[in-house]
Structure 1
């Protein structure tokens, strides 16, 4: 019975719906954002929480402001989440990230 349960859990894991996330790391003091696209939404959330907890900067583009304003000035803002489709998932996610960047004023982007 143990082997059957294990097989069932593996099958369920492989069949789970996969998602992608377009998100921004936003500096609330300066009103600037770094918009990113990620194929693992939970991983992105966990990494950001880890960087805030440790005080390390998650991206080189943010380093100067991260040091000046501190990690508490930054928040993760989820902009859009999409479900993975068999065809062109990464390309769709990248294009969606570009669309979100185009919506922003250039002076507010990193």
Structure 2
């Protein structure tokens, strides 16, 4: 019985819809952003909340401003969330997500990016 339940859970995990998130960690005092793309939207949200709570810096690119302005000066801004198409391979989905992140970076003025 236990093995069957475990198989069900694994199958459910593998069949779950895969989602991707393009987001920015934004310094609200300076108006600068670090734009990132992740295949685990909830994980990205949780990591950012954890780093804000502990005061640790999530990315080396932000370290100087994180120390100067403090973690409360930063916010996670969700830019776009997408779902993997059923016929799409996971690697192709990750490539599409990466390209979407690049498009969002191109929309920004260079002086506003980390």
Q: Tell me the matched-pair count.
A: 110
- Structure 2 partner of 1:105: 109
Q: 1:68 to 1:87 in 2, by over 3 A?
A: closer
Segment of structure 1 superposing worse, 69-78 or 6-15: 6-15
With normalisation by structure 2, the TM-score equals 0.89
CA shift, 1:13, in A, is: 1.5
Segment of structure 1 superposing worse, 8-17 or 32-41: 8-17
CA shift, 1:21, in A, is: 0.8
Question: Given the alignment of the two structures, is residue 79 of structure 1 paired with residue 79 of structure 2, yes or no?
Answer: yes
Q: Which runs of 5+ in 1 are unaligned?
A: none
CA RMSD of aligned residues (A): 1.4
Q: Which runs of 5+ in 2 are unaligned?
A: none
CA shift, 1:10, in A, is: 2.2
Q: 1:66 to 1:95 in 2, by over 3 A?
A: same
CA shift, 1:14, in A, is: 1.3
Distance in 1 separating the partners of 2:63 and 2:6? 44
With normalisation by structure 1, the TM-score equals 0.92
- Structure 2 partner of 1:90: 94
Distance in 2 separating the partners of 1:100 and 1:27? 17
Distance in 2 separating the partners of 1:87 and 1:3? 30
Distance in 1 separating the partners of 2:44 and 2:91? 22
SS of the residue 2:81 aligns to: strand
